[in-house]
Amino acid sequence: MLEFIDTHAHLYDEAFAGEEDSAIERSIGAGVGKIIFPDIDSLTRESMFSIAERHQGVVFPCLGLHPTSVGANWEEELEKVHGSLSRKIWAIGEIGMDCYWSKEFVKEQETVMKEQLVMADRMSLPVIIHSRESTELIIRILKDCRHLSLRGVFHAYSGSMETFRELQKLGDWYIGIGGVLTYKKASIAETVKHIPLERILLETDSPYLTPVPYRGKRNESGYIPHIATRLAELTGKEIGEIAAVTTENAQKLFSI
């Protein structure tokens, strides 16, 4: 069986309530033997760590404050992130900027992102970047943080080839490719043909962004092979090469 890694899954989400363990077992059965859990905020953090504790060697938790969780109590939430730094984590994330849902706390989002980038640099950890309608903002932030040694992944990448090239000048960046790749008219389907496979990670973002043929249903880590198959079709590569290289990329970035 081919070996895959899901580098972005929220199996601790309420959509999986009571089914977290079975979803992980199904993923293992599908060849997805390792799963990265990005953090969101204090509301789900303990659930995330609890599941990771039950599935050591399979689930790898991260720590961070998601941009959409940056609100009026952002300082309190950020302090809770600092309070959990003693726990075993594999990345700082999911962090970043989101100007889609609201721009009310955009300045605070920037402050929080920068502080967490510093955190990642001090701990020599990769970062998981969330970027939605905020590419120019994030590029500016990364330029401001040139003095840091940054590496990580741009989750659910939907940018252009030009943006990809710009990012490579600002750190050691991979891109996360998920279920959107299987959708009709998805712009990333053309862009991904030109991005080196050595810069690509596979992800589901479960329970969201479910790939064809399950679109409309809850996403699971076990659906990674469908994303890999579509990537193979688009790039003209063998599925075995897709599995081997993306798995090696994930192992290298997250040290798993």
**Closest listed residue to residue 85, CA positions, set 49, 57, 35, 131:** 49
- The sheet with strand 59-61 has its strands ordered as 4-6, 32-37, 59-61
Domains delineated in the chain: 4-254 (3.20.20.140)
Q: How far apart are CA 254 and CA 24, in angstroms?
A: 19
Residues of the chain with pLDDT under 50: none
pLDDT tens per residue across span 24-55: 999 999 999 999 999 999 999 999 999 999 99
90 and 62 Cβ atoms separated by less than 8 Å: yes
User: What are the residues facing 172 on neighbouring strands?
Assistant: 151
- Mapping DSSP to helix (H, G, I), strand (E, B) and coil, where does residue 10 land? coil
Would you say the pTM of this structure is higher than 0.75? yes
- Written as six digits, the tokens of 221 are 């880590």
Q: Distance from CA of residue 19 to its chain's centroid? A: 22
**Closest listed residue to residue 119, CA positions, set 70, 64, 80:** 64
**Closest listed residue to residue 99, CA positions, set 144, 46, 141:** 141
pLDDT for residue 254: 98
